[in-house]
Structure 1
Amino acid sequence: MLELLAYLHDSELVARFQRRCGLFLVEAAHHSRGGTPDTPRGQLRGRWDHQDNNSNFKHKENGFAIGGCSRPQYEVRNWLLYFLFLFSAGLGHEIFYITCLPCIQWNLDPFLCRRLVNMWTVVMYVGQVMKDLLKLPRPLSPPVVKLETRVNAEYGLPSTHAMAATAISFTLLLSAPSRIQFQFEVGLLIAVTLSSLVCLSRLYTGMHSVLDVICGALISAILVFLTYPYWETFDHFQLNSRISPIVGLLLPLFLSYKYPELDHYSTTRGDTTIILGVGAGCSVGYWVNEQLGQTLVPQGVLPVPLPTLTPNVLALGAVRHLVGVVALVGTRQVVKTLSLQVLYSWYGVAKNDDSARRRREIEVPYKFTTYTAVGLVNSILVNRVFILLGLM
Structure 2
Amino acid sequence: MGNIKKCINYLKDPALVARFQRFFGVVRLGNQQEESVVFTPAENGEWKTNGSVVLKRDDGDHRITNKFWFYLFFLGTYLGDEIGYSIIIPFFIWNIDSAIGRKMVLVWAIVMYIGQSIKDIIQWPRPACPPVVRLQKKWSVEYGMPSTHAMISIALPFSVLHYISNRYQIDYTIAIGLALVWCVLITLSRLYLGMHTVLDIIAGLLLATVLLIPFVPIADILDRFLMYFKWTPLVLLTTTVLLILVYPTGDQWTPTKGDTSLILGTCAGILTGGWLLVTLGIQNEYRALNPTNNHVDWPSLKDIGMIVIRSGLGYACIAVSFLIVKYVFVVVDVLLTKCGVTVTDSNLNRHIAVLDNTYKYLTFYLVSGVTIFVIPLLQRELHVQRLSFYNEAK
Q: TM-score, normalised by structure 2?
A: 0.88
What amino acid is the match of 1:196? V
Number of the residue aligned with 2:381: 388
Decide whether the 8 Å contact of 1:356 with 1:362 is kept in 2: no
5+ residue gaps, structure 1, are none
Match of 2:157 in 1: 169
**Whole-angstrom CA distance in 1 between matches of 2:345 and 2:17:** 38
What is the match of residue 267 of structure 2?
Answer: 279
Q: What letter is aligned with 1:281?
A: G
Q: CA deviation at 1:98?
A: 1.0
Ranges of 4+ aligned residues in structure 1 off by more than 6 Å: 296-299, 350-354
Q: Trace 1:260-279 onto structure 2 (pairs within 5 A).
A: 260-279=248-267
Shift of 1:194: 0.7
Aligned length: 373
Q: What whole-Å deviation, never above 9, does each CA across 1:202-254 have from its counterpart, x for those lacking one? A: 00111000010111111111111122332332122211122322111111112
Partner of 2:191: 203
Q: 1:162 to 1:302 in 2, by over 3 A?
A: same
Secondary structure at the aligned position of 2:142 is classed as: coil
| Contact 1:61–1:137 under 8 Å retained in 2 | no
Query: SS in structure 1 opposite 2:135?
Result: coil
Structure 2, unmatched stretches of 5+, are 386-394
Contact 2:14 2:132 (8 Å CA) reproduced: yes
Which of 368, 372, 375 matches 2:365?
A: 372
Q: Decide whether the 8 Å contact of 1:111 with 1:297 is kept in 2.
A: no
Question: In the alignment, is the contact (CA less than 8 A) between 1:109 and 1:298 conserved in 2?
Answer: no
Kindly tell me: are residues 290 and 383 of structure 1, through their superposed partners in 2, closer, same or farther at Cα, counting changes over 3 Å?
A: same
* Equivalent residue, structure 2, for 1:143: 131
Structure 1: how far apart are the matches of 2:196 and 2:186? Answer: 12
Q: Paired residue for 1:311, among 301, 311, 316?
A: 301
- Matched residue, 2:101: 113
Query: Contact 2:336 / 2:343 at 8 angstroms: preserved in 1?
Result: no
Q: Which residue of 2 aligns with 1:30?
A: 32
- Normalised TM-score (structure 1): 0.88
Of 322, 327, 347, the residue aligned with 1:337 is 327
* Structure 1 equivalent of residue 23 of structure 2: 20
Contact 1:110–1:297 under 8 Å retained in 2 = no
How far is the alpha carbon of 1:309 from its aligned partner?
2.1
Q: CA deviation at 1:340?
A: 4.2
The one of 291, 304, 316 equivalent to 2:279 is 291
> What is residue 356 of structure 2 aligned with on the other side?
363
Residue pair 2:126, 2:144 contacting (<8 A) in 1 also: yes
Of all paired residues, the percent bearing the same amino acid is: 30
Partner of 1:133: 121
Amino acid at match of 2:31: A
Q: Is residue 109–residue 267 contact of structure 2 (8 Å, CA) maintained in 1?
A: yes
- Verify the 8 A CA contact 1:120 1:167 in the aligned structure 2: yes
* Cα-Cα RMSD: 2.5
CA contact (8 A) 2:148 2:204 kept: yes
Contact between 2:187 and 2:201, CA under 8 Å: does it hold in 1? Answer: yes
After TM superposition, the structure 1 = structure 2 runs for residues 343-354 of structure 1, keeping only pairs within 5 Å, are 343-346=333-336, 348-349=340-341
Q: SS at 1:182's partner residue?
A: coil
